[in-house]
Structures are given as C-alpha cells and as structure tokens.
Amino acid sequence: MKILIAEDDRYIGEGLCAIVDAEGYSSTLAADGEQALRMFHQLRPQVVLLDIMMPKRDGYAVCREIRKVDGDVPVIFISAKSEEIDRVVGLELGADDYIMKPFGTREVIARIRAVTRRCLARGNAEEVKADALQFGDLEVYPAELRARRGEQQIELSLRDVKILQLLHKNRGKVVDRDSIFNACWGRDYFPNSRTLDQHVSKLRKLIEIDAKNPQIICTVHGIGYRHG
C-alpha cells in the first residue's frame, strides 16, 4: 500500500517515511505542493499525508486538486497550525483526519491505521468476515488490521498482516526468508540480518499464547518460517 507524504521540512518528512515504512507501507516523499500533485497522478497512492504550509502550493490547494479526481483516497493533514478554523477548513475540503505538530509516532500510526481500515473495509461486513484467517483459536481480520482471540482484540500493523497472510497461504510449507522479505518488505528492501527475526519476535508477543513456545509462527532454522 502506497503512501504519499508531502512535507517541505526534510527532517520531518524523512521521519514520517520511516514511521510508515516500518508499518509495512511504501512511502514517497514530496518536498512541495506541485511535486506532491505530480507524484499523486503518477503513483495513485492509497493514502496521502499533506503538510499545509508548503512552497508553490499549500496543502489546501493540493487537497482541492486531489478531490477533483479522487473523492475516496484518504487524506490526512499534518500541520503546526493549531487554530480550530484551520481544522474546519481542512475537513470541509475533504480531509479525513488532522494531525498537529509536534506529534508522536503512536499518534501517526494510529491515525494511518484508522484511515487504512476504512480503505480496506469498503466491502460489506460479509466480505470482511469472509476475508478472516484462522490460526487455531486466533482469527485475523486483514481489512481491520486486527486479530481476535475470544474477547481479546489485538492491533496489527499492515506488515504483521502481510506476514500472516503469506504464512496462511503457504500453510504447512516452509517460507524462506527472501520470499518473506520480497512479499512483506518489497524487492527493493535490503534488510540487515536481524530485521525479520526482530519483527517476528514482536509479532509473536502479540499473537502467540506463549511467545517462547510459538504455535502460529514456527522457526525453521537456517531457512525461514512456517505455520502448521
């Protein structure tokens, strides 16, 4: 899933890219409003993060142009402007959410997950339920970026879901590390030796009953991982 980030502050923009890339998205950074519009038409991203005060065209103007051609793509404004009128203008232009600077990583992730759920779950409730993946007593709902075990609800990242979908599709088979990286990180990603293991370790803590004795994501030493 592609996210376009329009932010003229390079430090903030690169920080946002790092946050969304870690979640499993593919980010592209634009440094001004005109570049953002060009990239939007070229890439057709699934989510757009727009700074308001940008050179050449501000976020409001970019949002207006986006809404002329796409009324559904989620747009989140990110700005240091705090007056209520600015938030109202942004929402009236068709923005889906509004994040104020300075912001925390968790807030950005939570808001992106929220709009992603709305984007993924545009089908009816029956379609969303049919998309569920069963891992023993754990049910994973990709469109919701969530899993459930009984009454327990577990929040998942997009990358968590990609890994679980891949293992479920290849149930009983060993999925090698390169295949997991290509499917869940992208072919252009060059990981260090511990990236996958660290991510799987965190995911196990979320979904396994006993992370030290995993039943859902099993390690096949020297090769990769397997479910079932």
Domain boundaries along the sequence of the chain:
2-120, 125-226
Let me know the angle formed at the C-alpha of 104 by 142 and 76, rounded to the nearest 5 degrees: 60
Please answer whether residues 217 and 175 qualify as being in contact, where contact means their C-beta atoms are separated by less than 8 angstroms: no
So what's the pLDDT on residue 190? 63
So what's the pLDDT on residue 228? 77
Helices and strands in the chain: count of H runs, count of E runs: 9, 12
- Which residue matches tokens 């290849």? 170
Q: How far apart are the first and last CA of the chain?
A: 28
Is the pLDDT score of 125 beyond 90? no
Comparing C-alpha atoms, which of 159, 135, 165 is closest to residue 148? 135
So what's the pLDDT on residue 129? 53
- CATH 3.30.565.10 given to domain 125-226: no
The reply to whether omega before 191 is within 30° of 0 (cis) is no
So what's the pLDDT on residue 19? 92
Least confidently predicted of 125-134, 168-177, 183-192: 125-134
Question: What CATH superfamily classification does 2-120 receive?
Answer: Response regulator (3.40.50.2300)
Q: Per-residue pLDDT tens for 214-227?
A: 999 999 998 999 99
So what's the pLDDT on residue 191? 61
Q: Per-residue pLDDT tens for 32-71?
A: 999 999 999 999 999 999 999 899 999 999 999 999 999 8
Model confidence band, residue 122 (pLDDT cutoffs 50, 70, 90): low
Q: What percentage of the chain carries pLDDT values higher than 70?
A: 88
Half-sphere exposure of 14 (CA within 13 A, CB side): 3
So what's the pLDDT on residue 34? 97
Is the pLDDT score of 143 beyond 80? yes
pTM: 0.80
Comparing C-alpha atoms, which of 56, 42, 46 is closest to residue 8? 56
Beta strands in 22-114, from DSSP E residues, in sequence order: 26-30, 47-51, 75-79, 97-100
